[in-house]
Amino acid sequence: MATALFLDDSVNTCDCCGRTELKATVAMLLDSGSLVHYGQVCAARNTGKTRKQVTTEIRAERDAAFGRAQNELAAIRRAGTKLTREIIRHVAAQHRADVKLLIQSWA
């Protein structure tokens, strides 16, 4: 079963139905390992989940990504490296974590 990972506002076309000009798409990891971008309706239809369940998966992945980024920043800090905004941004990008929240938590 596919897993909803995050909302992506840089992709505005649904890979399922081809609808365009969407505000955002749901990045989905399929069982085959491929990453697709579906509109919210297609994301729910193709996974057999409700939109609420898809949203819950996205939030859970967001929280997990934030936790992974926090752990990596803590390890960097323990190694004696001063955390700069550039390092925080780099770690956030690797984990798709919220940059603003990470900077606030480490600034």
Q: Tell me the residue ranges of DSSP E strands in 1-107.
A: 3-8, 25-29, 35-38
| Tens of pLDDT, residues 38-81 | 999 999 998 899 999 999 999 999 999 999 999 999 999 999 99
Cβ atoms of residues 74 and 66 within 8 Å: no
Q: Say how many C-beta atoms besides its own lie within 10 A of residue 83's C-beta.
A: 16
Instruction: Render pLDDT for 77-99 as a digit per residue (tens, 0 to 9).
Output: 999 999 999 999 999 999 988 88
Q: Above 80 in pLDDT, residue 20?
A: yes
pLDDT for res 106:
81
Identify the pLDDT of residue 42.
94
pTM over 0.85: no
Q: What angle do CA 95, 18, 48 make, to 5 degrees?
A: 65
- What stretches of 9-101 adopt beta strand conformation (E)? 25-29, 35-38
